Amino acid sequence: MSNPSGISLDPWFDNYAERASGLTASEVRALFAVANRPEVVSLAGGMPFVAALPFDDVTKTVQRVLGTAGPQALQYGSGQGLPELREHIMSIMALEGIRAGVDDIVVTTGSQQGLDLISKLFINPGDAILAESPSYVGAMGVFRSYQARVEHVAMDDEGMIPQSLREHIAHLRAIKVPIKFLYLIPNFQNPAGVTLSAARRLEILDIAQAEGILVVEDNPYGLLWFDRPPPHAIRSADDAGVIYLGSFSKTFAPGLRVGWVVAPHGIREKLVLASEAAILSPSSFSQMILAEYFESHDWKGQIDTFRGLYRERRDAMVDALAQYAPDIPHTTPTGGFYLWLTLPHGLDSKEMLPRAVKELVAYTPGTAFYANGDGRANLRLAFCYPEPSFIEEGIKRLSRVIAEELELLETFGPTATSVSASLDAPPPEVT
């Protein structure tokens, strides 16, 4: 790996593989230090409100697993995952129109591992990945680590725009850059909160099929709708050209680190081999806890509880924005965890963040969700974790920061916000 400066505190720097240059700190991860400070209202991290789980039932489930199958739960398992859990996953996916068999499913250590395995199987340095504009920060990190070229396809309130997709494909074909897959989050998208319309799902699938492009459908939020379910999964319309990623992190608990992949047969076999090479097998203990919980508890009722909780917090955020920042445009999600806000002209979400932290509110700057440095005019707000009253206070603080930044901009011109950011920089442990 090249070192342009020739200076490094790491004595092994010159020994790293070239792809290690793609491993950079996530702007979201850096904000978790802020989220842990009690005086800061964090609207940054997408942490599910796991305190709403029935912990007495969860404790009993863990005890039953250890009491009846302890040696198996603490042992290595199958590289493809526990069959009993895969049967429950079939039932979950059926709610979104997906018909799959037990053997079609590969259990992973969170859907993030599934995305990493897919990238490992398909991406050579310089290959193109088509993704929404903006897109999931974790996906950007994975694609960057495999040295992919990410092409961001424009979105609007109905999700990815098919004509923009056609144009990007045509451009990449013209310059002879291989396109490995189209990555999208169709339901309550992270970070924008928008949902891909039913008509566009079919149109985008038609485009991908005609062009011979694999679709990777990432769906961690699909069951967390507020008023009505989103359209059926893209995978429900095509089981030959779509890889589907699912996760229990948002509908149960991220600490168990369990997700899954449904893929065409040939890809699935390679995913199992790649997973075994990486981790030997996913956690038997976590899988058994989930399988036992889904077998003996009202998991659909628990998801309903989460829906009501997140709907209330979405409403609190939208109402607070209407009260304190009525002229600032934003998306209004119908499910999931996030909304996407567009700052007044001239403001920079990344440069404004230190001032916001000083005012005891945190958000995620839009730049985290682009591979090309775009997104400075935007920021993501997460309503999933704070109580409604804290959300209101956080929006109140954020609106005050925006007003102060605008005043600086009007008084001193475009350099004012960067100057204020350096003056108001938080202490090192916060960044």
Q: Which two tokens stand for residue 67?
A: 């009491």
Quote the CA–CA distance of 146 and 164 in Å, as a whole number. Answer: 25
Alpha carbon 134 to its chain's center: 11
Are the C-beta atoms of 213 and 185 separated by less than 8 Å?
no
What's at 413, amino acid-wise? G
Please state the pTM of the whole predicted model.
0.90
Q: What DSSP element (H or E) covers 341?
A: strand 338-342
- What counts of helices (H) and strands (E) characterise the chain? 14, 13
Cβ-Cβ contacts under 8 Å for 18 (sequence gap 6 or more): 1, 125, 147
Quote the CA–CA distance of 30 and 32 in Å, as a whole number. Answer: 6
Q: How far is CA 341 from CA 226, 315, 337, 351, in A?
A: 20, 15, 14, 16
Q: Is 165 helix (H, G, I), strand (E, B) or coil?
A: helix
Per-residue pLDDT of the chain (431 residues; tens, 9 = 90+): 556 555 667 777 777 787 776 666 666 565 556 656 788 999 998 999 999 999 999 999 999 999 999 999 999 999 999 999 999 999 999 999 999 999 999 999 999 999 999 999 999 999 999 999 999 999 999 999 999 999 999 999 999 999 999 999 999 999 999 999 999 999 999 999 999 999 999 999 999 999 999 999 999 999 999 999 999 999 999 999 999 999 999 999 999 999 999 999 999 999 999 999 999 999 999 999 999 999 999 999 999 999 999 999 999 999 999 999 999 999 999 999 999 999 999 999 999 999 999 999 999 999 999 999 999 999 999 999 999 999 999 999 999 999 999 999 888 876 655 445 444 444 333 32
Q: Which two tokens stand for residue 227?
A: 């008023």
Residue 327 main-chain phi, psi, to 5 deg: -95, 0
Alpha carbon 199 to its chain's center: 23
Q: Which residue has the tokens 């001239």?
A: 346
Are the C-beta atoms of 220 and 193 separated by less than 8 Å?
no
Q: What DSSP element (H or E) covers 395?
A: helix 388-412
Q: Per-residue DSSP letters for 108-159?
A: ESHHHHHHHHHHHHHPPTT-EEEEEES--HHHHHHHHHTT-EEEEEEEETTE
